[in-house]
Amino acid sequence: MQLPMGTAQLCTPSLKRTTRPTPGKASRRRRQNHRVPFESRPRHDHGRLRISTTMTTRPMNTDNQTTPAGFIPALRFHALTRLYDPVVRLTTRELTIKKRLVGGLGQGVQSVLDLGSGTGTLLNLVRSAYPEAKLVGLDADPRIIALARAKVQNDVDLVHGDATNPPFAPESFDRVVSSLVLHHLTRQQKLRALSAARALLKDGGELHIADWSSPHDVVMRGMFLVVRMLDGFETTRDNVRGDLPDLIREAGFGDVVETYRQRTPFGSMAIYRGRLGVAEGAEK
């Protein structure tokens, strides 16, 4: 409203709205850098303060670990290593034969070495059956050891090393187990690995191996060709001939027997057991 001239005008506060200056990029960056990560913010649950305990773990550093000369990865190619568990589960009836192997380990087992422990499936089954036993896994592939570390319990030792020259003191274990490892080795490598396993066992100890075996019939022989083309004809020759029991005996084990056999979509598999301190063919 306009007042007549000469009339004193009242001083009223200005109603004009003031705006804050727009922060620059540097100011916005400073505020963003001081924000608390979402995972570490306190969360409220029904009136009680609950702090998030989300943890992050660093992957195993495998940069300085190497594989032996001539080493064949679990599925022939390193790029397929991460697919090992689903592939083996679907093609070998893995849990059936590994549970059978663990079921045959016997009483009073206090220490077990898994020779070529892979992703740790067999170690987990052994842990369930023997919760107080000392468990050690040995594998030559640092990539697959990293996968196993995510699966097994923290009290299981995973060691990088060669099955033909394992880095353990003699007579360290009650049982040595191995699954789907020997068919990756040449005949001489098989003998060295089996002899090393014998040296690591205490008197009265046992070796239990699950691997491809001589075929049940022509169908199983034909299906096993897929495995032989993937893993090599030379390394699988002893398996298809049924020579593994003879190699176990040659390495110094007694009472060598085939304890179980099964058909799979890609050939026949068997479990073999050898003992120390028992004469060949004797009962224990």
Distance CA 183, CA 178 (A): 11
Residue ranges in the chain whose pLDDT is less than 50: 1-18, 31, 33-63, 75, 77, 79, 281, 283-284
Q: In this predicted structure, what is the pLDDT of residue 254?
A: 96
Q: In this predicted structure, what is the pLDDT of residue 114?
A: 98
Go through the domains of the chain in sequence order and give each one's CATH number: 78-275 (3.40.50.150)
Q: In this predicted structure, what is the pLDDT of residue 228?
A: 84
Could you say which DSSP state residue 264 is in?
Answer: E
Distance CA 256, CA 246 (A): 8
Q: In this predicted structure, what is the pLDDT of residue 223?
A: 81
Q: In this predicted structure, what is the pLDDT of residue 117?
A: 94
Pairing of strands 254-264, 134-139: unpaired
Residue 147: name the closest of 56, 74, 70 by CA: 74
159-201 per-position pLDDT tens digit? 999 999 999 999 999 999 999 999 999 999 999 999 999 999 9
Q: Hey, which bits of 168-247 come out as E strands?
A: 173-179, 201-212
On whether the CB atoms of residues 117 and 137 are closer than 8 A, the answer is: yes
Q: Residues 96, 98, 102, 105: is their CA dihedral positive or negative?
A: positive
End-to-end CA distance of the chain: 116
Distance CA 178, CA 209 (A): 5
Q: In this predicted structure, what is the pLDDT of residue 2?
A: 47
Instruction: Give the three-class secondary structure for 45.
Output: strand
Pairing of strands 111-115, 48-50: unpaired
Distance CA 19, CA 41 (A): 32
Place of tokens 């007694």: 254
